[in-house]
Amino acid sequence: MTVPQSCTFTSPIPNPPTTTTSTCAVPLGGSNSTYLDVCCNGHINPITTYGSPGDSAECYMYCTTDNWSEVSRCLEGKFAEGGGGGDGKGGPSFACFNAVDGASGSGGGSVRVNSMWAWMGVGVMVWGCVVGMV
């Protein structure tokens, strides 16, 4: 994909124009679009170009995903293999947005419990099991 000459990359990568799902984004240029396509399963998850707020030039690409952590790991690996990447001007290689800790996509592993009430409930159940055994 050709980078418009009017693209003046900013650091950090601006948020994509959506807040409904987790997304990962890269600046246009080099192998970035290929990496995003591979890591986001571009044949399944939509990939769209966008620009910085108030700028009509579409200088970035993003994909929507339900497994942002896997996409992030994949992009880290691809950029490391390719010797960097990013915007070619020292800017960031990629960024993920609306990431939800503990959410896992297909084939995910553990789920984090981030609620004080949930931990208290677990503690009460463990205490009940211990007292019941005595």
**pLDDT given at position 82:** 73
Tokens of 21: 């799902």
**pLDDT given at position 52:** 86
CA dist 27 and 9 (Å) reads 8
**pLDDT given at position 104:** 39
CA dist 11 and 91 (Å) reads 6
HSE-CB at 13 with a 13 A cutoff on CA atoms is: 25
**105 or 108: whose pLDDT is higher?**
105
List residues bridging with 64 in a β-sheet. 23
Tokens of 9: 């990359």
**122 or 79: whose pLDDT is higher?**
79
Helical H segments across 1-134, by residue range: 32-39, 68-81, 116-133
**pLDDT given at position 116:** 41
CA dist 43 and 64 (Å) reads 12
pLDDT band for position 49 (50/70/90)? very high
Q: Which CATH number is 22-133's, of 1.10.287, 2.60.40, 3.30.70, 3.40.50? A: 3.30.70
Kindly tell me if the per-residue pLDDT of 102 is higher than 60.
no
What residues does each domain of the chain span?
22-133
Kindly report which listed range (45-49, 66-70, 129-133) carries the lowest average pLDDT score.
129-133
